[in-house]
């Protein structure tokens, strides 16, 4: 994607910031967030990204232009309060899509946390939805399902080509769940793993996110298209922690419990049809994560 005017929401988060920086190399990129940490705003502006403060819960986007070519919506509220998160995640996406209804494409980043737990069976986009994050984040699954419904409505109401991407376990040099596990291994902290083991997920490296995001938003449709956004390698927490432990010379400790997330594996056949497969092999991605963030820990 080149020479397009692109809006990225939630750039201070793990995934959206690198996406905005990547796209800014060849496009006019705007970023919007609350920017409570002014240094992050300054950092993006130094990379040529135009930053505008906004709040999803308020839904006031009057300071943003209305002529974006594409919108990448990553912003998400994660609080224990349903009113806060339904307003920000659900109403917020509708108000944003209304403001940006002239765009050629809208990407709404959802989560594989919307699926109902199903033992060790990979989820397709047609799998049943459920409240699988309640044990850790009580509002997350429900508010994200609500946001998907609003995005589906707005795509039809505004004839705005839309894709809803259900993201599974992003990671990379910018961090992610495996990086938190790395810190726990280093500190000797037991890692919660579901008792219905192994706890398997389908990792997606930030390089693959950056590489596929343009093609995904360009494939938006009316009605909205829904796609699992993941790699195709199913890896257990126990397996990636064992590998991280080898890299730093510390054996991981596990706490097998029902009070954590169950397996979330996804089939990415639909994604591969649109933009091709993920390319980063999981061990290579994890090694690079350690090399970039904690090189002094490597043995």
Rounded to 5°, angle at Cα 206 from 201 and 208? 85
**Looking at the domain covering 5-170+204-229, what would its CATH class be?**
alpha beta
Residues whose CB falls within 8 Å of the CB of residue 187, separated by 6 or more in sequence, listed in order: none
Nearest to 134 by CA among 149, 159, 114, 111: 114
Token readout for 203 is 């990792």
CA separation for the pair 50, 32 (Å, rounded): 9
Q: Is the pTM above the cut of 0.85?
A: yes
CA separation for the pair 264, 119 (Å, rounded): 9
Pick the CATH number of 171-201+232-266+279-297 from 3.40.190.10, 3.40.1410.10, 3.90.25.10, 3.40.50.12660: 3.90.25.10
Domain boundaries, the chain: 5-170+204-229, 171-201+232-266+279-297
Task: Kindly list the averaged pLDDT for each block of 10 residues, start to end, along the chain of length 299.
Answer: 97 96 98 93 96 92 96 96 96 97 98 96 98 93 98 98 98 97 98 96 98 98 98 98 98 96 97 98 98 97
Phi-psi region of 188 (alpha: psi -120 to 50; beta: other; left: phi over 0): left
pLDDT at 265: 98
pLDDT at 83: 96
pLDDT at 44: 96
Token readout for 228 is 């699992």
């Amino acid at each position: 994607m080149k020479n397009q005017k692109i809006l990225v929401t939630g750039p201070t988060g793990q995934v959206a910031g690198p996406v905005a920086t990547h796209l800014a190399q060849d496009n006019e990129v705007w970023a919007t967030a609350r920017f409570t940490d002014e240094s992050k705003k300054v950092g993006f502006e130094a990379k040529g990204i135009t930053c505008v403060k906004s709040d999803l819960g308020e839904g006031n986007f009057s300071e943003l232009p209305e002529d974006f070519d594409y919108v990448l919506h990553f912003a998400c509220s994660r609080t224990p309060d349903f009113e806060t998160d339904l307003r920000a995640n659900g109403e917020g996406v509708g108000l944003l899509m209304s403001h940006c209804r002239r765009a050629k494409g809208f990407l709404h980043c959802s989560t594989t946390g919307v699926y109902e737990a199903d033992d060790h069976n990979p989820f397709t986009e047609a799998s049943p939805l459920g409240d699988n994050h309640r044990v850790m984040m009580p509002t997350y699954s429900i508010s994200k399902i609500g946001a998907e419904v609003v995005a589906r409505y707005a795509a039809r109401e505004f004839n705005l080509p839309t894709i809803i991407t259900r993201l599974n376990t992003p990671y990379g040099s910018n961090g992610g769940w495996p990086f938190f596990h790395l810190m726990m291994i280093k500190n000797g902290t037991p890692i919660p793993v579901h008792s219905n083991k192994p706890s398997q997920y389908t990792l997606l490296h930030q390089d693959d996110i950056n590489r596929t995001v343009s093609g995904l938003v360009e494939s938006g449709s009316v009605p909205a298209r829904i796609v699992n956004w993941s790699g195709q390698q199913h890896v257990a927490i126990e397996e990636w922690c064992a590998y991280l432990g080898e890299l730093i010379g510390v054996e991981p400790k596990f706490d097998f419990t029902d009070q954590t997330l169950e397996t979330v594996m996804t089939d990415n056949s639909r994604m591969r049809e649109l933009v091709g497969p993920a390319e980063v092999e999981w061990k290579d991605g994890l090694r690079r994560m350690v090399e970039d963030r904690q090189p002094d820990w490597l043995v």
